[in-house]
Structure 1
Amino acid sequence: MAYAEFAYLYDRLMEEMPYPEWLDFLSQCWSKYGKPRTLADLGCGTGSLSIPLARQGIEVYGIDLSDDMLAVAQQKGAEAERHQPFPAGGSVAWLQQDMREWSLHRQVDAVISLCDCLNYLLEEEEVAQTFQQVFAGLNPGGLFVFDVHTPYQLEAYAEAQPFFLNEDDVAYIWTSELDAERCEIEHALTIFVSDMERGSSNTGSERFRRVDELHVQRAYPMAWLKRQLQQTGFSEVEMYGDFAWKSVTKTTQRAFFVARK
């Protein structure tokens, strides 16, 4: 996907995303399995998790396919460090790579991929390939932590759509169409954003520009994902539901996987 214009709107539109809950879930993982010194964040977007993790003293590699997302992340990271330098051991390196083929010069202690990034892999082979790359990129005993939208959540989106936002500086219309056979959903967003959002110097009447985005996600059966992780070589695979250390059920919206190499 080309996030060129969307990248600069992403944080504004995602203000309600539960980043504190993701960070809390990771902190609980560190308490249970051990805190990593090095970590790769696959699908890091604008760095809303990578930067706080660096603030915890972790050496983070923020990896994303979009140069524009990474440009925003790099700016945010630089501003965060100017405001308060990262503690010893904490840093972020931003890398433009495909999660299906990513690699580093070293293995890391943990790999995360949150905010349903893996749902953007639309074929089973792509999921399997990503799992293999993660396994290869982890130190022995390393953790792979990721979340996915469940089939239940995609069905809920299709039933509840369309969605609307209407605020002074930004508005959108969001429609969704579900391919039930593949459990694949297409999100079409038409966004109208004030020309002042990116600091336009236009002193005349306020104008809005239109941005069109198309996002496609696929949900996979939880049992299939667990089996793929085990077949890849992960020795411990646990599943949890909706930010809590509880079992995944038929009505779980967001499933978390914690797998150890």
Structure 2
Amino acid sequence: MTKTNEAPHASGGPYGAFAYVYDRLMADMPYGEWLGWLDAYWSARGGRPSDVVDLGCGTGTLAIPLAREGSRVTGVDLSADMIEVARRKEAAVRSELAVPGELEWVVGDMREWRAPAPVDAVVSLCDCLNYLTEEADVARAFGSAFAALKPGGAFLFDMHHPNQLDAYMANEPFCHDDEEASYIWTCELDEETSTIAHRLTFFVRGADGRYDRSVETHRQRVYSEATIRKLLADAGFSGIETYADFTFDPIDDDETTRMFFAATKR
């Protein structure tokens, strides 16, 4: 039996109810590879930054390990529900493990948020920036990142390559099913705008044995490497580097599915 319901205190909208089951249903995401890429980048350039802003931090799965390594981390996310889950996760981790770095959680828009003091690094991973479906909004987010950085600071992020849209459409629908939670994830592509709509229908087993059903639609847009380079330069960044798929190899427009960018504020 199913019933339609939201998770307790869910605010609605993308990453509303979904926030409370996100970690369970997305456990196979390559978080270790994202953290490994950051560590390799920083190690090659003198070491880990002291102050980091994580834009689109979600449930804190990357921000918390960065704080465990000693950085002061500010996690920013548009979803109050994701931030609530991140706070709970931080408390659970601190109850069992040493977390030398400070953590601050902020409900905010990456296009508008301003750091109270300049930081050494801004990161935005897990294709968060693809949720900005207008170039003007990407430009605003880049401007915010630039404003937050100290001179010499780096903005590190990833975005889907246009090839990823083909991969989504070739492999959808995506499904997960276990006794506690399940989802069906379908995709609809608008080739004219290079935008994809992800429709997630998920079911979570409640304490009474019944399943709560929720539906969310998330939209992402892909941009070319050249477009992102231009927007970064327009925001004031220099020394722009691009890499492919968790490596430091150049982007291959035939093979790459995830582009990594590193841009410096001089």
TM-score by length of 2: 0.92
Which segments of 5 or more consecutive residues in structure 2 lack a partner in the other structure?
1-12
CA spacing shift, 1:177–1:2, aligned 2, 3 Å: closer
Task: Report matched runs for 1:9-158 at 5 Å.
Answer: 9-34=21-46, 35-87=48-100, 90-158=101-169
Q: Which one-letter code corresponds to 2:59 in the other structure?
A: T
Task: Report deviation, 1:155.
Answer: 2.0
Q: Tell me the equivalent position of 2:205.
A: 194
Distance 2:171 2:99 in 1: 42
Per-residue displacement from partner, 1:213-250 (whole Å, max 9, x unpaired)?
10100000111101211121111111111101101112
Distance 1:33 1:219 in 2: 29
**Deviates further, 112-121 or 185-194:** 185-194
Q: Tell me the equivalent position of 2:213.
A: 210
Which segments of 5 or more consecutive residues in structure 1 lack a partner in the other structure?
none
Matched positions, count? 251
Task: Report deviation, 1:147.
Answer: 0.4
Q: 1:175, 1:189 within 8 Å by CA — same for their partners in 2?
A: yes
Q: Percent identity?
A: 49
Please tell me whether residue 164 in structure 1 is matched to residue 172 in structure 2. Answer: no
Helix, strand or coil for the counterpart of 1:57? coil
Q: Which one-letter code corresponds to 2:216 in the other structure?
A: E
Task: Report deviation, 1:4.
Answer: 2.2
Please tell me whether residue 226 in structure 1 is matched to residue 229 in structure 2. Answer: yes
Distance 1:151 1:172 in 2: 25
Per-residue displacement from partner, 1:166-185 (whole Å, max 9, x unpaired)?
22222211110100111100
Distance 1:213 1:176 in 2: 12
Task: Report deviation, 1:123.
Answer: 0.2
Q: Which one-letter code corresponds to 1:219 in the other structure?
A: V
Per-residue displacement from partner, 1:105-158 (whole Å, max 9, x unpaired)?
101000000000000001000001111111011000001000011111012212
CA spacing shift, 1:153–1:21, aligned 2, 3 Å: same
Distance 1:74 1:121 in 2: 25
Distance 1:112 1:48 in 2: 13
RMSD, aligned CA: 1.0
Q: Tell me the equivalent position of 2:256.
A: 252
Distance 2:41 2:196 in 1: 30
Q: Tell me the equivalent position of 2:242.
A: 239
Q: Which one-letter code corresponds to 1:209 in the other structure?
A: D
Task: Report deviation, 1:11.
Answer: 0.2
Q: Which one-letter code corresponds to 1:5 in the other structure?
A: A
TM-score by length of 1: 0.94
